[in-house]
Amino acid sequence: MPKELVKIENLTKDYGRIVAVKNISLDFNEGEIVALLGPNGAGKSTLMNMIAGYLSPSNGEIFVCGKSIKSDPLWGKEHIGFLPEGAPLYADLTVKQFLNYMAELRGVSRDKVNQAIKLANIEEVLDQKVETLSKGYQRRVGFAQSVLDDLPILMLDEPTDGLDPNQKKHMRSLIAKMGKKKVIIISTHLLEEAEEVCNRIVLMKQGEVVADGTLKKILSKYKGKTLEEVFFKLAGDKGE
């Protein structure tokens, strides 16, 4: 049996009148590469930020490697590598300073920093301040930060956002190779990305899960329809 690494029970988040995540229950297991797929505003980032412990739920519970993060918030952070939406914090540090600082905070050795730098392919910008980098490079620095230590859960919020087509390809092949001992959860509004990289798709619309399974399983319910057609029917968006 694959290990259950993340378990979500009846999770809800409202921002006043907007309910961004509505009573979602899901399990994520070792070996899965999951796409949280859905149009803008579907609730993907809100869900990830709660799992990462950045946002507290309005209701419901999250278990990371068997333990509730409500009772032990640090536990989640010790087990999840996370690339949040947008640019890394500490924009006035250089890339090298930023990564060394993050490594120090987490007790990760310098070799690991070098490995992450290589993996993210950011050698040429190490001495540049994070705030001066293009969006694509900022995403890659964020990615390097998320893989500094080899944690069992890797969560990437729109990992290819801002990357050019070549960099997108590179990032997708990296994710696909990241290892079978983990669960990798990525969010994307790009169908092709979910299709290419992931072995499970969780399709979200307006804070709810409207389909969950392998691509094959999801499509089998809609004989003769393409993924685009099914995605449009379920999530009301062509996904670009």
Q: Binding residue for ligand ADP (CB under 6 A) from 28, 32, 33, 44?
A: 44
b/e code 156-187 from CB counts within 10 Å (16+ = b): bbbbbbbbeeebbebbbebbeebeeebbbbbb
SS3 68: strand
Name the one range near ligand ADP by CB under 6 A: 24-32, 36-44, 66-74, 129-137: 36-44
Nearer to ligand ADP, 195 or 237 (CB): 237
Cβ distance to ligand ADP smaller for residue 99 or 187: 187
Query: Residue 33 binds what, of ligand ADP, Mg ion, none (CB under 5 to 8 Å, by partner type)?
Result: none
Sequence-distant (6+) residues with CB within 8 A of 181 are 30, 31, 152
**What does DSSP assign to residue 189?**
S
| Closer residue to ligand ADP in complex, CB, 103/203 | 203
Q: Which of ligand ADP, Mg ion, none is residue 43 near (CB under 5 to 8 Å by kind)?
A: ligand ADP
Dihedral pair phi/psi, residue 173, rounded to 5°:
-70, -35
- Which partner from the list Mg ion, ligand ADP, none does 18 bind, CB cut-off 5 to 8 Å by kind? ligand ADP
Per-residue x/- track, 23-52, Mg ion (CB under 5 A): ---------------------xx-------
Q: How near is the Cβ of 161 to ligand ADP at its closest, in Å?
A: 11
Q: Does 42 bind ligand ADP (CB under 6 A)?
A: yes
CB 83 → ligand ADP: shortest distance, Å? 13
Candidates 133, 112, 135; CA nearest to 124 is: 133
Number of chain residues interacting with ligand ADP (CB under 6 A): 11
Question: In whole angstroms, what is the distance from residue 61 CA to residue 72 CA?
Answer: 12
CA 187-154-35 angle, 5° bins: 25
The owner of tokens 């999801």 is: 218
Q: In the Cβ-directed half-sphere of 202, how many Cα atoms lie within 13 Å? A: 22
Span between the terminal Cα atoms of the chain, in Å:
37
Q: Is 188 in the site for ligand ADP (CB under 6 A)?
A: no
Residue 159 binds ligand ADP, judged by CB under 6 A: no
Judged by beta carbon distances under 5 to 8 A according to partner kind, the member of Mg ion, ligand ADP, none in contact with residue 20 is: ligand ADP
**Which parts of 16-35 interact with ligand ADP (CB under 6 A)?**
18, 20
Residue with tokens 């590598």: 81
Indicate which single residue of 1, 17, 40, 216 sits in contact with ligand ADP (rule: CB under 6 A): 40
For β-strands 4-15 and 18-29, DSSP reports them as antiparallel
Q: Which residues bind Mg ion (CB under 5 A)?
A: 44-45
Q: Which residues bind ligand ADP (CB under 6 A)?
A: 15, 18, 20, 38, 40-46
